Amino acid sequence: MNQPVQPPVFEVGRIRADFPLLGTTVNGKPLVYLDNAATTQKPRAVIAALVRYYETINANVHRGVHTLSQRATDEFEDARETVRGFLNAASPREIVFTRGATEAINLVAQSYGRTFLRAGDEVLIGEAEHHANIVPWQQLRDSHGTVLQVAPINDAGELDLAAFTKLLSPRTKLVAIGQVSNALGTVNPVAEIIRMAHAQGARVLVDGAQSVGHGPVDVAALDCDFFVFSGHKVFAPTGIGVLYAKAELLEAMPPWQGGGDMIRTVTFEHTQWNDLPWKFEAGTPDIAGGIGLKAALDYLAGLDFTAAARHEHDLLHYATTRAAEIAGLRIIGTAKDKVAVLSFVVAGVNAQDLGVLLDSQGVAIRTGHHCAMPVMTHFGVAGTARASFAFYNTREDVDRFFAALAKALEILA
């Protein structure tokens, strides 16, 4: 008789052992780290890659003929190839290293926006965007006369697709949309959004800052024009991030910063730009960060990402069920399609106070507006408390979180 096929067990205990900080204490209590949407912890493999780089390689890239410089260059460019594979981009020429998602969006706004958008052209974003995907488009509007359109969300925190469709028109030249909302956890239907935008002739930038840590991304299948993310949200160091863009766009775009590395020749009369992607990488890059990012992506490649996502969904479901037991707790963001983010307010309780009291019990959550003030305005709150999970969290973490929350609420009552 055929045995039913069991899904692979996700061995969270073994995975936690790879993340040294998870085994530490904070304020005398074992750490429960639930601020993964802000930044993720780093596996030993990433930390080791940074130490190995500084202990055995450290040299500048693209500049020296000496052995260390060549090794640093080879490893940095190898990291670019790993990012290409991670995103399924066609070529490493399409992978520009930046400081993070914020810098990557600013690069697109400054270079693509100022060159290809005209006064009156529309940039369409969503109401739940992170400030990093709002402010650069406002700056472009203010300096350049473009129009900023905002597609609303509904009260579950989902993008109102009907309203989005209405706002989309031949005047829309660029759609900039988060794949996952950091404040709410909502997953946006970006494939559908890209199809609709392309049908109107608009380019699409996908902000993948909150999606890359929760599942595979395929820019070729999505057919997005730009995709940005930050290394530190995907278990890599801070200071390194990525702009993916179709090569034809990068070819046509002017550099946004000038300096070393982005040039081929310089005279006082004229400068010739370097090839892709270095045309967009003026100055010494975060070499160790790039190498650390490769180590993080290699680490993820060794995980069963589908099982990890299933585990995270189990945590979200469990946490959501437990949240319903708390009097006065209101979840902010109840989209049907969500990653493991539990944003909430408790009637009569200041989120900041909750955060401080949870911290005293070793539980790290984020409180405030989460760099998404328009979302707070939509829901009529000043801020929320947010527990955000990664695949290394456990049901015990959820239990400790709710125990700490109950205690905090008792103190604040």
Of the listed pieces 25-33, 206-214, 262-270, 276-284, which binds ligand PLP according to CB under 6 A?
206-214
**Residue 209 binds ligand PLP (CB under 6 A):** yes
Active-site position among 371, 379, 395, 407: 371
- In the set 18, 76, 100, 205, which binds ligand PLP (CB under 6 A)? 100
Binders of ligand PLP in range 343-372 (CB under 6 A): 371
Residues in contact with ligand PLP, counted by CB under 6 A, come to a total of 13
What string marks each residue from 138 to 177 as x (binds ligand PLP by CB under 6 A) or -? ----------------------------------------
Tell me if 394 contacts ligand PLP by CB under 6 A.
Answer: no
Q: What is the smallest separation between the CB atom of 272 and ligand PLP, expressed in angstroms?
A: 31
Q: Which is nearer to ligand PLP, 102 or 384 (CB)?
A: 102
Is residue 130 a contact point for ligand PLP (CB under 6 A)? yes
Among left, alpha and beta (phi > 0; psi -120 to 50; other), residue 406 is: alpha
The nearest distance, CB 234 to ligand PLP, in angstroms, is 10
94 binds ligand PLP (CB under 6 A): no
Task: Give min distance, CB of 386 to ligand PLP, in A.
Answer: 11
Looking at beta carbons only, is 207 or 312 nearer to ligand PLP? 207
Q: Considering beta carbons, is residue 341 or 354 the nearer one to ligand PLP?
A: 341
**Residue 371 appears among annotated catalytic residues:** yes
C-alpha to C-alpha distance for 263 and 260, rounded to whole angstroms: 6
Q: Per-residue string for binding with ligand PLP, 101-120, x by CB under 6 A? A: xx------------------
Tell which positions 369-388 bind ligand PLP, by CB under 6 A: 371
Q: Is 136 an interacting residue with respect to ligand PLP (CB under 6 A)? A: no
Selected range binding ligand PLP among 127-135, 143-151, 273-281, 395-403, rule: CB under 6 A: 127-135
Q: Which stretch binds ligand PLP (CB under 6 A): 96-104, 162-170, 317-325, 347-355?
A: 96-104
Nearer Cβ to ligand PLP (136/362): 136
Distance of CA 245 to the CA centre of its chain: 16
Residue of 36, 41, 172, 230 interacting with ligand PLP (CB under 6 A): 230
102 or 343: whose CB is closer to ligand PLP? 102
> Quick one: three-class SS letters along the chain?
CCCCCCCCCCCHHHHHCCCHHHHCEECCEECEECECCCCCCCCHHHHHHHHHHHHHCCCCCCCCCCHHHHHHHHHHHHHHHHHHHHHCCCCHHHEEEECCHHHHHHHHHHHHHHHHCCCCCEEEEECCCCHHHCHHHHHHHHHHCCEEEEECECCCCCECHHHHHHHCCCCEEEEEEECECCCCCEECCHHHHHHHHHHCCCEEEEECCCCCCCCCCCHHHHCCCEEEEEHHHHCCCCCCEEEEECHHHHHHCCCCCCCCCCEEEECCCCEEECCCCHHHCCCCCCHHHHHHHHHHHHHHHCCCHHHHHHHHHHHHHHHHHHHCCCCCEEECCCCCCECCEEEEEECCCCHHHHHHHHHCCCEECEEECCCCHHHHHHHCCCCEEEEECCCCCCHHHHHHHHHHHHHHHHHHC
Hey, which residues are catalytic here? Answer: 371
Q: Which residues bind ligand PLP (CB under 6 A)?
A: 100-102, 130, 132-133, 178, 182, 207, 209-210, 230, 371
